[in-house]
C-alpha cells in the first residue's frame, strides 16, 4: 500500500519518512505525522503475529498492488440502484466530483478530506486518527495507522439532524493496478441519525479506514456491499465510538474477492447503547482464490448496553472463511448483553472455516454468549423441500438464504434488505452446482 517498507529512507528512523507523507493542511499534516509515529512504534504486521496467522498480510504489505481486473457488471444495475440517496463517487480511490451529487443535504455536512485538510481548524481533526488510536486494542492494528498516515482522500460526513436520505459512497474500480487508500470520518451528532451505504470494490488493492463517532442519542445505520471483483485485496477498518442511548448497526455483504479483511472495532462508552455488526460473505473458489476475514472487537465500557455480532459465510470449492471476534466487558459494564455468532455453511468438503471467538468479562452482572459453528446443508430439510417438488438447486438456495437470514435482519430498511437479498439470490443462482 504505497508502502515504503522495502525502500528505507536512511535519514529517518520511521517507517514513513516526512517526504513520503502526503502534503496537506495543518491539522491533517499533524495527524499524518502522528500516525506515522504510531506506525513506526508498532511496526508492520509480522508473519508470527497471532492476529495475522490465518490471513497472511503479505499481499497487503507488498510494495505494489497485485493487478486485479475490475469486474464487468455489464447491464446489471448496481446494488442500492433504486434507493433515493446522496451519491458520492470515488474512482480508483479518487473522488469524482462530476459523478457525485452536490455534497449538501438537510442536517448534513459533507466534505472531501482533501478539501477539509486546507482548513486550519476542522471538526474532524478531533476524530481523524483519534478513534483509530483508541482502537489498537487488544492488539495493534498497524495497517490502520498506516492508512491514517497516508490517506489524502475520503469524505468527512457530519449529521446534525435526522438525515432521511442515505449517503451513498460508490467505489468504482477501473484500473487494474489501482492501489487506493481512503479514510472517512463520520460524526453523528447528539440525537441525529444517518444511514451510510457503500458499494463497489474501489481498487485492485484498497486500504480503507472509517472512523465513526455516534454521539448520545444518535443513530447510525450502515449497509455495505463490497463489489464483485475476484482479484481484489481489501483491508477495511471501522472504528466506532458510541455514546449514551446511541444505536450503531452495520451490515456488510461480501461476495468474491481474493482477500477481504474487514476489521470492526466498536467501543461502547455511553449507557443504554446498542451496537450490531453483521456480515454475509459468499465465496466460490472456482472463481479464483477466495478468502474472507471478519475481525471484530467490541468493548463494553458502559452500563446496560447490547452488542450483537452476527457473521455468516457460505463457502465452496476451497474458499476460506475466517472469523476473529471478541467481546470485552470492562469492570463496571453491568447489565451488558453481548452476543456473538459466527457460522459457516460449507457447501463442499474443500471449503474451510477458521474461527476464534473470544469473551473477556470483568463485570459480574452480564449476559454474554458466543457460538461458532460450521456445517453442511441440512439433508433432512433438503429432502423435505425436494419431496414437495422444489428442485435440488432451488432448495439448496432457499436453505442458504435461510442460513443468512439473521444477518439480513440487521438491515433496518426493508427495501434495502430486499435489494441485498436479491443480490445474494443472484449470486447463488450463478454459483449453483
**Which is nearest to 307 in space by CA: 342, 332, 278, 343?**
278
Q: What gap in Å lies between CA 29 and CA 114, rounded to an integer?
A: 11
Q: What gap in Å lies between CA 261 and CA 206, rounded to an integer?
A: 10
Helix (H) or strand (E) holding 108: strand 108-112
Counting contacts by CB under 8 A, is residue 385 touching other proteins? yes
Counting contacts by CB under 8 A, is residue 394 touching other proteins? yes
> Which member of 402, 415, 418, 432 binds other proteins (CB under 8 A)?
402
Q: What gap in Å lies between CA 275 and CA 266, rounded to an integer?
A: 8
Q: Is the sign of the CA dihedral 138, 144, 149, 152 positive or negative?
A: negative
| Site stretch for other proteins (CB under 8 A), options 20-28, 41-49, 347-355, 401-409 | 401-409
Q: What gap in Å lies between CA 278 and CA 252, rounded to an integer?
A: 6
Counting contacts by CB under 8 A, is residue 390 touching other proteins? yes
Please answer whether residues 76 and 255 qualify as being in contact, where contact means their C-beta atoms are separated by less than 8 angstroms. Answer: no
Counting contacts by CB under 8 A, is residue 174 touching other proteins? no
Three-state DSSP at 43 gives: coil
Counting contacts by CB under 8 A, is residue 377 touching other proteins? no
Instruction: Compute the least distance from the CB of residue 345 to other proteins, in Å.
Output: 11
Helix (H) or strand (E) holding 275: strand 274-284
Please answer whether residues 365 and 334 qualify as being in contact, where contact means their C-beta atoms are separated by less than 8 angstroms. Answer: yes
> Which member of 34, 115, 271, 406 binds other proteins (CB under 8 A)?
406
Counting contacts by CB under 8 A, is residue 8 touching other proteins? no
Three-state DSSP at 34 gives: helix
> Which member of 67, 162, 383, 429 binds other proteins (CB under 8 A)?
383
> Which member of 51, 54, 80, 403 binds other proteins (CB under 8 A)?
403
Counting contacts by CB under 8 A, is residue 417 touching other proteins? no
Nearer CB in complex with other proteins: 59/390:
390
| Cell reading at 278 | 453483521
Three-state DSSP at 377 gives: coil
Please answer whether residues 196 and 222 qualify as being in contact, where contact means their C-beta atoms are separated by less than 8 angstroms. Answer: yes
- Kindly state the number of chain residues that form the binding site for other proteins, as judged by CB under 8 A: 24
> Which member of 43, 81, 391, 418 binds other proteins (CB under 8 A)?
391
Cα 44–Cα 50–Cα 54 angle in degrees, nearest 5: 95
Counting contacts by CB under 8 A, is residue 381 touching other proteins? yes
Instruction: Compute the least distance from the CB of residue 403 to other proteins, in Å.
Output: 6
DSSP classification of residue 153: B
> Which member of 50, 120, 364, 380 binds other proteins (CB under 8 A)?
380
Nearer CB in complex with other proteins: 99/402:
402
Counting contacts by CB under 8 A, is residue 399 touching other proteins? yes
Counting contacts by CB under 8 A, is residue 354 touching other proteins? no
| Site stretch for other proteins (CB under 8 A), options 206-214, 219-227, 340-348, 398-406 | 398-406
> Which member of 63, 405, 415, 429 binds other proteins (CB under 8 A)?
405
Instruction: Compute the least distance from the CB of residue 257 to other proteins, in Å.
Output: 25
Counting contacts by CB under 8 A, is residue 278 touching other proteins? no
Instruction: Compute the least distance from the CB of residue 277 to other proteins, in Å.
Output: 20
| Cell reading at 155 | 469524505
Residue for grid cell 427495501: 415
Burial group, residue 379, by CB count within 10 angstroms (0-12, 13-18, 19+): exposed
Nearer CB in complex with other proteins: 287/419:
419
The site for other proteins (CB under 8 A) is made up of: 378-381, 383-392, 394-395, 398-399, 401-406
Amino acid at each position: 500500500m504505497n508502502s515504503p517498507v522495502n525502500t528505507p529512507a536512511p535519514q529517518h528512523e520511521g517507517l514513513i519518512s516526512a517526504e513520503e507523507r502526503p502534503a496537506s493542511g495543518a491539522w491533517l499534516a499533524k495527524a499524518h505525522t502522528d500516525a506515522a509515529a504510531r506506525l513506526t512504534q508498532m511496526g508492520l504486521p509480522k508473519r508470527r503475529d497471532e492476529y495475522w496467522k490465518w490471513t497472511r498480510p503479505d499481499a497487503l504489505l507488498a510494495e505494489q498492488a497485485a493487478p486485479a481486473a475490475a469486474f464487468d457488471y455489464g447491464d446489471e444495475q448496481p446494488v442500492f440502484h433504486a434507493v433515493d440517496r446522496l451519491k458520492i463517487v470515488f474512482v480508483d480511490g479518487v473522488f469524482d466530483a462530476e459523478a457525485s451529487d452536490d455534497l449538501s443535504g438537510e442536517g448534513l455536512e459533507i466534505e472531501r478530506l482533501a478539501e477539509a485538510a486546507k482548513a486550519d481548524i476542522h471538526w474532524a481533526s478531533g476524530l481523524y486518527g483519534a478513534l483509530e488510536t483508541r482502537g489498537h486494542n487488544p492488539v495493534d492494528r498497524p495497517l490502520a495507522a498506516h492508512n491514517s498516515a497516508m490517506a489524502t482522500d475520503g469524505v468527512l460526513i457530519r449529521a446534525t439532524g435526522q438525515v432521511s436520505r442515505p449517503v451513498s459512497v460508490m467505489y468504482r474500480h477501473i484500473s487494474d493496478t489501482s492501489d487506493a487508500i481512503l479514510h472517512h470520518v463520520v460524526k453523528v451528532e447528539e440525537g441525529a441519525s444517518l444511514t451510510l451505504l457503500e458499494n463497489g470494490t474501489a481498487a485492485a488493492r484498497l486500504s480503507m479506514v472509517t472512523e465513526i463517532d455516534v454521539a448520545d442519542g444518535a443513530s447510525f445505520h450502515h449497509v455495505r456491499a463490497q463489489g464483485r471483483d475476484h482479484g481484489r485485496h481489501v483491508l477495511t477498518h471501522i472504528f466506532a465510538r458510541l455514546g449514551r442511548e446511541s444505536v450503531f448497526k452495520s451490515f456488510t455483504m461480501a461476495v468474491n474477492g481474493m482477500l477481504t479483511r474487514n476489521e470492526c472495532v466498536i467501543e461502547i462508552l455511553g449507557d443504554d447503547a446498542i451496537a450490531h455488526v453483521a456480515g454475509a460473505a459468499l465465496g466460490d473458489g472456482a472463481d479464483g482464490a477466495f478468502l474472507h476475514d471478519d475481525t471484530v472487537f467490541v468493548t463494553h465500557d458502559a452500563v446496560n448496553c447490547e452488542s450483537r455480532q452476527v457473521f455468516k459465510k457460505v463457502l465452496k470449492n476451497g474458499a476460506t472463511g475466517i472469523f476473529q471476534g471478541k467481546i470485552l466487558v470492562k469492570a463496571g459494564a453491568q447489565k451488558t448483553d453481548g452476543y456473538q455468532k459466527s457460522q459457516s455453511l460449507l457447501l463442499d468438503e474443500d471449503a474451510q472455516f477458521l474461527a476464534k471467538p473470544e469473551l473477556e468479562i470483568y463485570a459480574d452482572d452480564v449476559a454474554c454468549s458466543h457460538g461458532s459453528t460450521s456445517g453442511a446443508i441440512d439433508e433432512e430439510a433438503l429432502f423435505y423441500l425436494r419431496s414437495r417438488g422444489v428442485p435440488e438447486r432451488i432448495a439448496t438456495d432457499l436453505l442458504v438464504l435461510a442460513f443468512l437470514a439473521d444477518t439480513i435482519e440487521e438491515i433496518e430498511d426493508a427495501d434495502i434488505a430486499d435489494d441485498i437479498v436479491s443480490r445474494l439470490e443472484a449470486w447463488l443462482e450463478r454459483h449453483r452446482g
